[in-house]
Amino acid sequence: MTAVPVMLGVRAPVGVPSGAPGDPLVDTHGRVHRDLRVSLTDRCSLRCTYCMPEQGNEWLARSSILTLDEIERIARVAAAAGVSTFRLTGGEPLLRTDIVEVVRRLSAISSPSGPVQLAMTTNGIKLAEKLPALVDAGLNRLNISIDTLDRARFHELTRRDRIDEVFEGIAAAAASGLRPLKLNTVAMRGVNDDELADLVQFAVDHGAELRFIEQMPLDAGHTWDRAQMVTREEILAALAARWELTPIPGRGGAPAERWTLDGGPHTVGVIASVTAPFCGDCDRLRLTADGQLRNCLFSTTEYDLVPILRDGDSASIDDGIDGMLRSCVHGKLPGHAINDPGFLQPARGMNAIGG
């Protein structure tokens, strides 16, 4: 199975991927892939300044968006190859009108290691009203994005006055019993770097773990400025002024380094993709809402599943999906190369890639 020429005129690496259907997804660097991030839409109910412009966004054509049946089929093939965690992302996944049925279908899938874990990353808007049905459908975990606790600042940052809905969603998640519950914050210089400790305390008060994310070059407008990024070390220094931080060992393939606060039980995490990359243990693949497989957030190459799903022989679709998964994994580079002089930001913004 070879990949389709895609972004920036780059052709996906061509080779003979190892493994037959049912074998684990192992890349040429020995990394076993067990996590698939599934973007359900590129649309969002917010317009965060670090993610997308307020106006003039070019949305994916609705006809190009994968159907529920297509998503389920890809997920089942991936699970047979050892993928044990699916994370639903966007854009904003709660904008997908069939979101509850997506959860119901995917949560019923098993991998060789047992039932899959199904997680979701959301901005929290509409979560309070949808959460009971999502939990009933089989959702296991939640990550909710919140970059500030200040109403005026939230409005300026997201270009929407909807912080109350986010707070309602977080409160509903805290009451739901879904654990671990995580709150995600992009740390930005001169924007929210004076709130870091307050955000951690807010998470603790809601039974959640705050996870800080270094700002990455994934904005649709390609305006990322390294100088505006608050680094891992700066984040830890700000938190150490209030709590004693003790590293938690055994990170494995998880993106976040974690620390206990004052000996526990509460914890905090930092995802330092820029200053402390963790590519050597990465076990993640990504599926965009329009059916493109990606082996890295920063990849300039995509592997197109749409012709297999919509134009192929129905008897061989699953084999075609499995082959493309293996081609994607086979083409994975050792790291994302953000810090290399020749680094190229991907053409897609984060909302079109999926978190």
The predicted-structure confidence for 221-231, as pLDDT tens digits, reads as follows 556 566 778 99
Which residue's structure tokens are 């407008």?
Answer: 221
The predicted-structure confidence for 84-135, as pLDDT tens digits, reads as follows 999 999 999 999 999 999 999 999 999 999 999 999 999 999 999 999 999 9
The tokens for 251 are 């990170």
Per-residue pLDDT, 338: 64
Q: Using an 8 Å Cβ cutoff, are 266 and 245 in contact?
A: no
The dihedrals phi and psi of 133, each to the nearest 5 degrees, come to -70, -35
Exposed e or buried b per residue across 246-264, where buried means at least 16 C-beta atoms within 10 angstroms of its C-beta: eeeeeeeeebbbbbbbeee
d(C-alpha 201, C-alpha 207), whole Å: 10
**How many of the other CB atoms lie within 10 Å of CB of 316?**
11
d(C-alpha 355, C-alpha 188), whole Å: 18
Before 124, cis peptide (omega within 30)? no
- The mean of the pLDDT values for the chain is 88
Per-residue pLDDT, 32: 96
Before 180, cis peptide (omega within 30)? yes
Exposed e or buried b per residue across 267-299, where buried means at least 16 C-beta atoms within 10 angstroms of its C-beta: bbbbbbbbeeebbeebbbbbbbbbbbbbbbbbb
Q: Transcribe 27-91 into DSSP letters.
A: -TTSPBP-EEEEE--S--S---TTT--SS---PPPGGGSPPHHHHHHHHHHHHHTT--EEEEESS
Low-confidence ranges of the chain (pLDDT < 50): 1-16
Burial (CB count <10 Å: 0-12, 13-18, 19+), residue 331: buried
Which residues are CB-neighbours of 81 under 8 A, at least 6 positions away? 19, 21, 22, 23, 24, 25, 322, 325, 326
d(C-alpha 345, C-alpha 337), whole Å: 10
Per-residue pLDDT, 47: 85
Q: Using an 8 Å Cβ cutoff, are 37 and 89 in contact?
A: yes
For 83, 200, 258, the CA distances from 332, given in Å and listed in that order, are 16, 35, 26
Residues in the chain: 355
Per-residue pLDDT, 249: 93
The predicted-structure confidence for 279-316, as pLDDT tens digits, reads as follows 889 999 999 999 999 998 888 889 999 999 998 788 89
d(C-alpha 99, C-alpha 133), whole Å: 10
Per-residue pLDDT, 56: 62
Per-residue pLDDT, 18: 57
